[in-house]
Amino acid sequence: MNKALFTTKEAAELLGVSKAFLERDRWAGARVPFVKVGSRAVRYRLSDLESYIERQIRHSTSQVA
């Protein structure tokens, strides 16, 4: 998986979430950074997805973000 940009579907598969999760995230303020290509296309950079995953690491279920 060595692409420069991922579609919403591809990014969702990589993160293990639904497309709807990423669509809601964009609408609500984008915790997962994205790139707007043209007027409609949304893409995700691998480096941003990896950074998002790193920020989600917790050491306890009671740990707050």
Give the residue extent of every domain in the chain. Answer: 5-56
pLDDT digits (tens, 9 = 90+) for 14-48: 999 999 999 999 999 989 999 999 999 999 999 99
Q: Are strands 35-37 and 5-6 parallel, antiparallel or unpaired?
A: unpaired
Banded model confidence at residue 65, pLDDT cuts 50, 70, 90: low
Which tops the pLDDT comparison, 45 or 3?
45
Mean pLDDT of 40-62: 91
- Torsion angle, alpha carbons of 49, 55, 61, 65, to 10: -120
